[in-house]
Amino acid sequence: MKKIVLILFCGLLAACTFQTKHRGYVFPKDLETQIATVKTTNQLQDLIGSPQAKTVHGDEVWIYYGADENYHGPFPLTYDNKTVLLAWVKGGRITKTQVLHDQDLPDVEIDPDETAIPAAIELNAIEELFNNVGRFSPAGLGQ
């Protein structure tokens, strides 16, 4: 009985551990100060690296994002230390930069519903298995 209680206690303790993973860029503590001296895209890439995204329409904006992802055992995932760096670029020169932190970013809730795909065919596991029979050629036949 003691062994069962010990195993359950260890399992409960392992499920309640706290873990933090960093996602995106790891920005320096004095990001605003360092960014103020950057004037070209080459300097920005040397300081931080390539951007995660660039805008397609309108002004060219380079976007950098970093956040800490916190795991608290069975509790929902949380994020903190969110930072977004926006750099407006024109011909290899940086015209404007903006740094956004947690309090500047809106909280966005993702809708749990799924969007229906038009003309989608819903198959269960057995139907999927039999639907694929004969679809693939044997290896080495080159067909």
Q: Model's pTM, two decimal places?
A: 0.60
What is each CA distance from 34 to 86, 108, 131, in whole angstroms?
Answer: 14, 29, 58
More confident residue, 49 or 139: 49
pLDDT at res. 62: 92
pLDDT in tens, 57-111: 888 999 999 888 887 777 777 878 788 888 899 988 999 998 888 888 887 787 8
Residue whose token pair is 């750099």:
87
In percent, how much of the chain has pLDDT > 90? Answer: 11
Name the nearest CA neighbour of 39 among 3, 84, 83, 90: 90
Pairing outcome for strands 53-54 and 18-24: unpaired
> What gap in Å lies between CA 108 and CA 119, rounded to an integer?
30
Residues 6+ apart with CB under 8 A from 78: 69, 70, 72
pLDDT at res. 61: 92
The domain spans of the chain are 15-102
In percent, how much of the chain has pLDDT > 70? Answer: 87
How much is the mean pLDDT over the chain? 82
> What gap in Å lies between CA 84 and CA 27, rounded to an integer?
10
Q: How confident is the model at residue 122 (pLDDT cuts 50, 70, 90)?
A: confident
Q: How confident is the model at residue 11 (pLDDT cuts 50, 70, 90)?
A: low
pLDDT at 143 over 60: no
Q: For the chain, how are helix, strand and coil distributed in percent, rounded to 5?
A: 25, 30, 45
CB burial of 71-95 (b: ≥16 within 10 Å; e: otherwise) equals eeeeeeeeeeebbbbbbebeeeebe
